[in-house]
Amino acid sequence: MNQWPDWLPLRDDLKSLSPYGAPQIVDVVQLNTNENPFSLPEVVQQEIVSRIQEVAGNLNRYPDRDAVRLRAKLAEYVNLQSGTEFDVENMWAANGSNEILQTLFLACGGAGRKALGFTPSYSVHPLIAKITGTSWIAGAREDDFRIDVEIAVEQILAERPSLIFVTTPNNPSGTSTPLVDISKLAQASANIGALLVVDEAYAEFSTEASASLLIEKFPHVVSSRTMSKAFAFAGVRVGYLVAHPSVIDAVLVTRLPYHLSSLTQAAAEVAIDHASVMQSGIDELLSERDLLVKGLERLGWNALESSANFLLFSGFKGTSANIWKEFLDRGILIRDVGLEGYLRVTVGTAPENHRFLAAAQEIAQ
Ligand SMILES: Cc1ncc(COP(=O)(O)O)c(C=O)c1O
């Protein structure tokens, strides 16, 4: 635990925390943060550079505070994917979807309020709850990491949180929650006046329909998305929210002025203009994921059925911490997500996955 100096007026409830983050180690095969392993197509790189050059002449000015052009493009992208009819006022954009989540907590969480999420799931949800003084309620998942909707609804009605989180596909399990189930959770959330935040960071890897389809019927349902994964754009930091215009108005109240730089907006606009080429690696990642599953099974290990670009696997002999270290000793960085008996691996390029499986084979012997 950090030893904080007496002179620092840090909040008591934050004193036990340390900064969040997976290890960033160079010169290893990095399969620990669910990044997309493919770099940006050359044509997109070139266009970003020339757009940035145009924008550079105006960097003495603040960016478009409301990122209108970017939001319009994001709406077009979501509409194309989901057959919806969203517009600028249904979209918000920020520095990664983590910032989207934080803005939602600032708007609807806080002291005296509760947030409920079905764990194990994305650990940043309870972390932001803590930072914003929101009480966190850990809802249950089944042994196979699926959400039992009947139990979930009961818990929602009993706890009456202001914010409810469903991550689908779920991190770290990779499992997805069908839209019919999300719809039942939406009804329960409506009954208690809660915002249902569906964290769809990995949506493009899944065949399940997006929760954004529910927004018309349930205005308190929001979909949190990111360009970090399928778009292979993690370094730029762009996440976005799809929501009813009143929710967008609410997050506009809690966002910082000029939060999204002109450089970020320009680069993201180019990326969305090239959405299909930016996402051309998805099919390859999905077939690589299948090969990884088979490779793990050959060792007598097993992976949960995943709808995302990562796998949660088990069946190894030894503790998660020890096996994680065994991989690292072989130059492979994966993620120990704190679930004993499980480890998470991000799907990499074919050579990276080969190296991972070769290391796994050695470890399994
Ligand atoms: C479920 C989930 N949501 C949100 C994020 C945050 O992504 P970003 O802030 O890069 O958009 C992640 C990142 O791993 C994630 O796994």
- State pLDDT tens for residues 250-289: 999 999 999 999 999 999 999 999 999 999 999 999 999 9
Closest CA to 332 of 323, 319, 341, 342: 323
Mean pLDDT of the region 227-242: 98
The pLDDT score that the predictor gives to residue 293 is 98
The pLDDT score that the predictor gives to residue 341 is 98
345: pLDDT strictly greater than 70: yes
The pLDDT score that the predictor gives to residue 13 is 93
| Position 316 confidence tier, pLDDT thresholds 50, 70, 90 | very high
The pick from 24, 171, 260, 337 for probing ligand 1's pocket by mutation, whose C-beta has the most ligand atoms within 8 angstroms, reads 171
CA dist 91 and 88 (Å) reads 5
Please report the atom of ligand 1 found closest to the CA of residue 238.
11
Tens-digit pLDDT profile for residues 15-58: 998 888 888 888 899 999 999 999 999 999 999 999 999 999 99
129: pLDDT strictly greater than 90: yes
Q: Whose CA is nearest to atom 12 of ligand 1?
A: 201
- Is the shortest distance between the CB of 241 and ligand 1 below 6 Å? no
Please report the atom of ligand 1 found closest to the CA of residue 98.
9
Please report the atom of ligand 1 found closest to the CA of residue 234.
10
302: pLDDT strictly greater than 90: yes
| Position 1 confidence tier, pLDDT thresholds 50, 70, 90 | low
- Residue 251 burial by Cβ neighbours in a 10 Å radius (0-12, 13-18, 19+): buried
68: pLDDT strictly greater than 70: yes
User: 325 C-alpha vs ligand 1 centroid, how far in Å?
Assistant: 24
User: 362 C-alpha vs ligand 1 centroid, how far in Å?
Assistant: 32
In terms of CATH architecture, what is 43-276?
Answer: 3-Layer(aba) Sandwich (3.40)
Strand 239-242 with 221-226, pairing: antiparallel
Tens-digit pLDDT profile for residues 174-201: 999 999 999 999 999 999 999 999 999 9
| Position 170 confidence tier, pLDDT thresholds 50, 70, 90 | very high
The answer, as to whether pTM is greater than 0.95, is yes
Q: Whose CA is nearest to atom 16 of ligand 1?
A: 171
Residue 184, φ and ψ in degrees, nearest 5: -65, -40
Average pLDDT score, the chain: 97
The pLDDT score that the predictor gives to residue 207 is 96
Mean pLDDT of the region 122-151: 97
Please report the atom of ligand 1 found closest to the CA of residue 228.
10
CA dist 63 and 117 (Å) reads 34
The pLDDT score that the predictor gives to residue 190 is 98
- Helical residues (DSSP H) of 193-301, grouped into ranges: 245-254, 262-273, 275-278, 282-298
Please report the atom of ligand 1 found closest to the CA of residue 239.
11
Q: Which two tokens stand for residue 62?
A: 């603040």
With a pLDDT cut of 90, the percent of the chain lying above it is 96
**119-130: burial string, b at 16+ Cβ within 10 Å, e else:** bbbbebbbbbbb
Give the start-to-end residue ranges of the domains of the chain: 12-40+280-364, 43-276
CA dist 355 and 108 (Å) reads 45
The pLDDT score that the predictor gives to residue 18 is 86
> 12-40+280-364 with 43-276: one CATH topology?
no
Class at the top of the CATH hierarchy for domain 12-40+280-364: alpha beta
The pLDDT score that the predictor gives to residue 23 is 82
- Is the shortest distance between the CB of 96 and ligand 1 below 6 Å? yes
